[in-house]
Amino acid sequence: MLNTWLLRIAEWIGATDFSVGLHESYYMYAWIESIHVITLMISLGMLIIIDLRMLGLWLTSVPASKIAERLDRPMLIGFSIMVVTGVLLYLGIPIRTTQSLWFRIKVILLVVAFINAWLFRRHMQQSAGSWDVAAVPPRRTRIAAALSLTLWAAVVMCGRFIAYDWFDCGQDNSAFIDWAAGCVAG
């Protein structure tokens, strides 16, 4: 039922002039995708530096709060642009994207990564000053940073896999894969 509802919404979006124009544009979709990848690199580059510091693996002589303070803004700007361009990419090819197993996994991973980031940020603000200059942060901080790196690596891989037709609807997939990919019969 959920898959049918999501497919109907995707079909409605796909029939809009904006979606058709974006998908059929000679350059626009490619430009948006390029901006998406560039801002992904900016955002994740900042995040990797912060996470490596939080793991106690790099820049251990620099206070953690100083690194987070300096890299937060470019990371959030990159992330914001990445979200906007990601939505535009979805709007350009909504039906196939809605029925992509990789897209669905990516969305779930993004939600988990967001929750981890929110909890991590809250933890950092609550414990400000207690371990800021320690070369090796507390275990909880290191676990959150490792989880962040793992989740974002998986998000990037799933995003890349969306382009491939490995589990597209209409192929010889198991019933579970068809359900997970959002395939709707008839």
Query: pLDDT tens across 31-72, in order?
Result: 999 999 999 999 999 999 999 999 999 988 888 888 888 998
- Transcribe 116-177 into DSSP letters: HHHHHHHHHHHTTTTSTT-SS--HHHHHHHHHHHHHHHHHHHHHHHTTS-TT-TTSS--HHH
Q: Is 26 strand, coil or helix?
A: coil
Predicted confidence at residue 1, as pLDDT, reads 83
Predicted confidence at residue 42, as pLDDT, reads 93
**What mean pLDDT do residues 95-120 have?**
94
For 176, left (φ over 0), alpha (ψ -120 to 50), or beta? alpha
**What mean pLDDT do residues 101-112 have?**
96
Is residue 170 pLDDT above 80, yes or no? yes
Nearest alpha carbon to residue 37 among 181, 163, 166: 163
Q: Is the distance from CB of 45 to CB of 157 less than 8 angstroms?
A: no
Is residue 130 pLDDT above 80, yes or no? no
Tokens of 21: 């124009």
Q: Is 18 strand, coil or helix?
A: helix
CA distance 23 to 108: 25
Is residue 129 pLDDT above 80, yes or no? no
Domain ranges across the chain: 2-181
Q: Is the distance from CB of 167 to CB of 177 less than 8 angstroms?
A: yes
Dump pLDDT digits (tens) for 2-27.
Answer: 899 999 999 999 999 999 999 999 99
List phi, psi (to 5°) of 152. Answer: -70, -35
**What mean pLDDT do residues 75-92 have?**
96
Q: Which residue has the tokens 């395939």?
A: 183
Could you tell me the pLDDT band of residue 186, with boundaries at 50, 70 and 90? low
Is residue 154 pLDDT above 90, yes or no? yes
Longest dimension (CA), the chain: 61
Q: Which residue has the tokens 């198991």?
A: 174
Is residue 122 pLDDT above 90, yes or no? no
pLDDT over 90 percentage in the chain: 73
Predicted confidence at residue 110, as pLDDT, reads 96
